[in-house]
Chains A and B, each alone.
Chain A
């Protein structure tokens, strides 16, 4: 059955796979490994938590790229500002 399925199942085009693999490998090459991002994320949480209450579950830290400029973007949901 697996054989029959493999004939009819549409495999993703190899150019799409190539592009995805490139983008992943370049994140590493450019110095932002997933480990580094995890470390950054936990330290950002620690610092910001000192001042405001944040939703640590839904923090999103990522690297975006525009015209050869890497940009570290942190999206941090705030539960309640410390000072009102």
Chain B
């Protein structure tokens, strides 16, 4: 890896610190700078400098000038509210944050690559959608949800930046939903919930990505610079029904016209986790992406298939739960 100085945004997020640690362990990386508005939950490893900064503010340019990174990994793109990231701020963080970051990147000499952690949510979920979206199909997707619009907008910004700066390789990794025990996403909450609300009469094909493989793909993108969007997902798809059976979870089928209100009511009662509109359409119609580009150009192959990823998370959750009960006893 020729990238010596790497800057990561969103380093205090659930995957950010692990990504920074992985990169700093790489012999080709001389230094890692992580920025975030939140302080890291645990001290970061050596060779990682933490800078507290808000992407939406202008101070970014000064930080980037000092850090002089060769590679910027824009990892601070948030689909769901998390500690330090309230719902109302998500759009600003995603879109304005990207805008400011790119503006600052334009003034860094020696910058060779920008890797953006984008999302396969850009394609949406629909019954008449292709079973496997290729990268060029993002343009034809109808933008229905807030996050989908955010992703489409920030990818347009990255695209425009790439055209103005042909010397800088801009990569957008479109990740399918990432699962892992350390994550607190709606999908993971469904994994932990006693029952999972599903759509009566629907059984979508889901395609997921284990957190380890998500990190692997981001590292691979730094190692092998590829221009433009690249889908990242585990092999194969799993139907929701089969996934729940493997997780030993019970489905709670709800008729589609009352799904939204019913789930909101049950979530208020604490029976099921709250689900966002992206997740609702994902649970109804699912989504698959074509990963030819990931294999051929990024030369990255996820270690786990979708089924293996689900099994791995299920095992860890079971171990976690057993550990809790033992500690309590």
Q: Do A and B bind each other?
A: no
Q: Which residues of A contact B (CB under 8 A)?
A: none
